[in-house]
Amino acid sequence: MTLPLEGIRVVELSHMVMGPSCGMILADLGAEVIKVEPRGDGDKTRRLPGSGSGLFATFNRNKKSIQLDIHDAEDLDILLALLDTSDVLVENFRGGKMQSYGLGYETLKARNPGLVYCSLKGFLPGPYGDRSALDEVVQMLGGLAYMTGPPGRPLRAGASVNDIMGGMFGVIGIQGALRTREITGEGAHLTSSLFENNVFLVGNHMVQAQTTGEEVQPMSNRIPAWAVYDIFRTAGGGQIFVAAVSDTQFASMCRAFGLDDLASDITLATNTGRVAARQTIHESLQRRLDELPLEEIERICDEADLSYARVNTPSDLVDDPHLTQTGGLVETQTSGSDSALVPLLPLLIDGQRLEKRSEVPFPGEHDAEVLDPLRKRNNP
């Protein structure tokens, strides 16, 4: 398969999640992504413990790694020579840092007018522009933690949603700028941010509050739109989410689980009536599900064409039959001889997944390949 970004060279000056996720998507799409790491042990994200221990392996496949010290004049000259040969720069330094190294957009544009310069920041320019930010910071500031936790207990979402989605918006902007460059020959300076990304995610809740005149409730305490749209217990202590969001689905659910009393109740013929009787419906359905094992409930829901999902943990997904049979996971080197299953991009092009073409690189693994030609050019 010919990949859409083949022939595009990207220099990635980033760490943690936002920048690396942007770079990895570009790499999966076929770009040559050169990750610049500090000398020594490389990117500090490689050595994060606990909840950070999976970040590097997840977001750094299909890249090349070189090591440079941008505080060193000779290394900085080599980096500039590399940027002269590049199409895209991705950076997530704090505001002003790139300029202090002589790597600001205007400086690089003068050397390489076609360069697409993508800055990944905590905030777009404005009153918050110089503030330090993390995913959890903007989730609190942007109302997402309020919507996620129970009332009075804001809770960050269970994934770095703003980091990853902010990187995705960076990719969208880069692809648009590359298309414009085909017409004008000029690059562009793009900025994608965590906070504004978070605001985009909660936009519908903002509109809800404005149109109803009432403060929205956290998702855990929201007024339900449907009577059956919740997590239920199963025999043996399992959990399953079941939804019936139309008149047809509700009738199908009642038939499938033998809830004849609910099916014959004319007050439950409309969604409004069912929402008003939500507790009664839940109690009846729960009594029936208490008698059935998880697998039997899944079979019944399938036959009745109901939306359902067992409640998994992330570790359950390595054995998920859909992911394993469709090639959605790829074995990826983590450290030394260790490996783990990592998700591929949730995208098909002409029915094919975007594959892992190369392992997560070791620090400086591609120094000779990438840097030696630049050194020869700088020192003929």
Residues recognised as catalytic = 163
In the block, tokens 């269970």 appear at 158
Token pair in block for residue 101: 């190294």
CA distance 196 to 200: 6
User: Within 10 A of 35 (CB to CB), how many other CB atoms are there?
Assistant: 29
Token pair in block for residue 315: 């570790």
CA distance 215 to 333: 47
Tell me the residue length of the chain: 380
Is 287 exposed, middle or buried, given 0-12, 13-18 or 19+ CB atoms closer than 10 A? Answer: exposed
CA distance 216 to 147: 8
Token pair in block for residue 1: 């398969």
Q: Which residues contact 109 (CB under 8 A, 6 or more apart)?
A: 115, 117, 187, 189
CA distance 191 to 197: 11
Token pair in block for residue 61: 């496949």
Minimal CA–CA distance to 39: which of 63, 74, 2, 85? Answer: 74
User: Within 10 A of 64 (CB to CB), how many other CB atoms are there?
Assistant: 20
Token pair in block for residue 149: 């936790």
CB 232 within 8 A of CB 289: yes
CB 268 within 8 A of CB 274: yes
Angle at 31 between CA 27 and CA 37, to 5 degrees: 60
